[in-house]
Amino acid sequence: MARKRNGLRWVLVPLVALALLAAACGDSKEEPASPGAGSQPKGRIAGSVDLKGATVTVGSKEFTEQLILGNITKFALEAAGAKVNDQLGLQGSTIARDALKSGKIDLYWEYLGTGWVTHLGNDKGIPGVDAQYNALKQADAKNGIVWTKPTKFSDTYAVAVTNENAKRLNLTRISDIGPLLAKSPDEGTLCVGGEFATRPDALPGLEKAYGIKFPQNKVSNVQDALVYQQVDAGKCTFGSIFSTDGRVASLGLTVLEDDKGFFPPFNGSLSVRKELLDRYPKIEELFAPIADELDDKTMIELNAKVDVESKDPKEVARTWLVQKGYIA
């Protein structure tokens, strides 16, 4: 999905500096080479998909989930023998999409709902993952973009409240917001991040679909990453969140049921320039099993390692690939 969260930029100490530091400390152990640092990582990717000779520029958006997905992509391509140029952390959906269309990047993970609504300009999504994916893949082919097999996880927009407010105000569904606004308008405070305030598949469309209207002076537009803390601290009753964010459980937030099925499927899909895929069709083969592995539970856990445990998204991505046997 477009996004959204302001991810952290991470700086890794160069391997050369680490080696010098180890030598200065009298440690004779050699630092293991990272993917792309001169030795191909072993694991089930190496030898199964050969992309030697390929040069691929990988992009991502700037928030946590995208940085994790971008690094998974980078390490997987390197394990297959490709040379990878890193353009991770692009600021927002439009910039990432423009970079893909112009050839500044070759591929990045995008969300079905974002592709259909934001990039192709449709008013609303299509119910059902398969239906949405097939329509999007066919429609975007004219732009020279191929959408590969979608992930099992769907990082959809959602509306959340604290567990305490859910109980106090008897909130379980988005449909419960309308009666609350009519009875107690002062409770209708809403924190939204980034694109949620303006996207047709977000607040404007949500209000129309549910027949509700948050008072303008009750809506606060903050950074996506701050919405969770604002809701938790009681600054806002409601907040726009992402369903696979690891902070939902850690902060004790209740996600309101989208009982009208407004939000379209936001399964991830690696969107790739057709020109590149025509030259290296094995790229699609490489990422099909990875997409199968990435379900809701997995993505929530990976996001939590960064947003809750303060781990580096690059290392979270690498560790996951190692644990799954893709690289060693």
Same domain, 86 and 140: yes
Residue 73 within a domain: yes
User: Is 1 contained in some domain?
Assistant: no
DSSP H or E run through 190: strand 190-193
Same domain for 19 and 52, yes or no, is yes
Do residues 138 and 174 share a domain?
A: no
Please tell me whether residues 186 and 168 are part of one structural domain. yes
33 and 165 co-located in one domain: no
Tokens of residue 144, six digits: 């020279």
* 245 contact partners, CB below 8 Å, separation of at least 6: 5, 64, 65, 228, 300, 303, 307
Q: Is residue 92 part of a domain?
A: yes
Does one domain contain both 72 and 114?
yes
What is the per-residue pLDDT for 28? 34
- For residues 57 and 104, the answer to whether their CB atoms sit within 8 Å is yes
Residue where a domain terminates, one of 196, 230, 255: 255
Q: What number of CA atoms fall less than 13 Å from residue 281's CA on the CB side?
A: 1
Confidence of residue 19 (pLDDT cuts 50, 70, 90): very low
Residue after which a domain boundary falls, among 255, 287, 304: 255
Percent of the chain with pLDDT over 70: 87
Least confident of 7-11, 42-46, 250-254: 7-11
Question: 2 in a domain, yes or no?
Answer: no
- CATH number for 100: 3.40.190.10
Q: Which of 17-31, 57-71, 72-86 has the lowest mean pLDDT?
A: 17-31
Mean pLDDT calculated for residue range 36-59 = 78
Q: Which of 21-25, 188-192, 316-320 has the lowest mean pLDDT?
A: 21-25
Domains contained in the chain, number:
2
Q: Considering the domain boundaries, does residue 10 fall inside one?
A: no
Identify whether residues 134 and 233 lie together within a single domain.
no
Q: Is residue 123 part of a domain?
A: yes
> Which pLDDT belongs to residue 31?
34
The domain of 232 spans 157-255
Are 150 and 290 contained in the same domain?
yes
pLDDT tens column, 259-318:
999 998 899 999 999 999 999 999 999 999 999 999 999 999 999 999 999 999 999 999
With left for phi above 0 and alpha for psi between -120 and 50, is residue 294 left, alpha or beta?
beta
283 in a structural domain: yes
Q: Rg (Cα) of the chain, in Å, rounded?
A: 21
Of the residues 255, 278, 305, the one at which a domain ends: 255
The CATH number of whichever domain residue 220 belongs to comes to 3.40.190.120
Are 94 and 188 in a shared domain? Answer: no
Q: What is the pTM of this model?
A: 0.80
Residue 41 has pLDDT above 60, yes or no: no
User: Are residues 45 and 148 located together in one domain of the fold?
Assistant: yes
Which tens digit of pLDDT belongs to each residue from 200-226? 889 999 999 999 999 989 999 998 889
The answer on 247 and 279 residing in a single domain is no
pLDDT at residue number 225:
82
Same structural domain, 202 and 293? no
